[in-house]
Structure 1
Amino acid sequence: MTNILFICSRNKLRSPTGEAVFASEPGIAARSAGLAPDAEVRLSSEDIEWADIIFVMENSHKRKLQQGFNNWVKNKKVVCLGIPDKYDFMDAELIEIFKACVPKYL
C-alpha cells in the first residue's frame, strides 16, 4: 500500500479532489489536508508521518511545508504539481491533471 497525501492551502478544492480521484485506486491510500489556519482539515505531523509521497499544489505550499514541518518532511518525497488555485472541487480539467501527473510518481 502506498500512502499519498495531497496538500493545498484550505483543503477545500484542489487537495480534496486529489484525494477523491485516488481514494479508490488499488494499492493506494489517499488523504488531503491544508496548510492555512482555517483549512477544512489542517495538516498535522501525523499526516506527514503516514505519507509515503506528499503532493503539494504550488511551490509556496512546499516552502510552507518545509518551514512548518521541517523535522517531519526532511526524509519524505515531496512533489510540487504546479496546479494553480483556479479550479472548483472535482473540476473535470483538475481531475485530468491529477490523472496525468500523479501516477508517474507512484
Structure 2
Amino acid sequence: MTRNVLFLCSQNRLRSPTAEQVFADWPGIETASAGLLADADVPVSPELLQWADLIFVMERAHRNRLSSRYRQWLNGKRVICLDIPDDYDFMDPVLVELLKRRVTPYLR
C-alpha cells in the first residue's frame, strides 16, 4: 500500500521541495510539496490535502495556518511539525540530514 506524504513550508522553494526530493525514492511512499503563502511556487490546495495520508509542516506557524484556513479538508489527518526553521538552501546537506532524522520514524 502506498502512502501519500505531503510536505509544507511557506513558499515551497527550499524546505518542502527538499523534503519531497529526499523521500521521493522511498518504497511505498509518494511525495508532494506545497507552500502555505499565496505567492508559493506550488500553493497548497484542498485537493493536495485530500490526497495526503500524512502531512509534515516545517514550523508551528505552518500548522496554525493550515488548521485555521484548511480545517475542513484535514478530516483528522495527522499533521506533524518538524520544527525546522527557514535557515537552509535547497538540498542543503544539513537540511537533508535533519529531514532524514525527523521524518524517517514516521515512515516506518
> Shared fold by TM > 0.5?
yes
Q: Distance in 2 between matches of 1:72 and 1:11?
A: 20
Q: Mean Cα displacement is larger for which, 6-15 or 68-77?
A: 68-77
CA distance in 2, matches of 1:84, 1:95: 13
Q: Which residue of 1 aligns with 2:22?
A: 21
Unaligned runs of 5+ in 1: none
Please give the alpha-carbon distance, in whole angstroms, between the structure 2 residues aligned to 1:45 and 1:87: 28
* Structure 2, unpaired ranges of 5+: none
CA distance in 2, matches of 1:59, 1:96: 20
Q: Aligned partner of 1:69: which letter?
A: Y
Q: 1:47 corresponds to which letter in structure 2? A: L
| Number of equivalences | 106
| SS of 2:72 mapped into structure 1 | helix
Counterpart in the other structure of 1:56? 57
Post-superposition offset of 1:74: 3.7
Cα displacement string for residues 25-60 of structure 1 (whole angstroms, at most 9, x for unaligned residues)? 111000000011100000001111011100000000
* Deviation for aligned residue 1:73: 1.4
TM-score normalized with structure 2 length: 0.96
2:45 alignment partner in structure 1: 44
TM-fit CA distance, 1:83: 0.2
Q: Distance in 2 between matches of 1:38 and 1:29?
A: 25
Quote how far apart the aligned CAs of 1:72 are.
Answer: 1.1
| Segment of structure 1 superposing worse, 65-74 or 79-88 | 65-74
How far apart, in 2, do the equivalents of 1:70 and 1:26 lie?
A: 29
More divergent stretch after superposition (70-79 vs 60-69): 70-79
TM-score, normalization by structure 1: 0.98
Runs of 4+ in 1 over 2 A off after TM superposition: none
* Partner in structure 1 of residue 8 of structure 2: 7
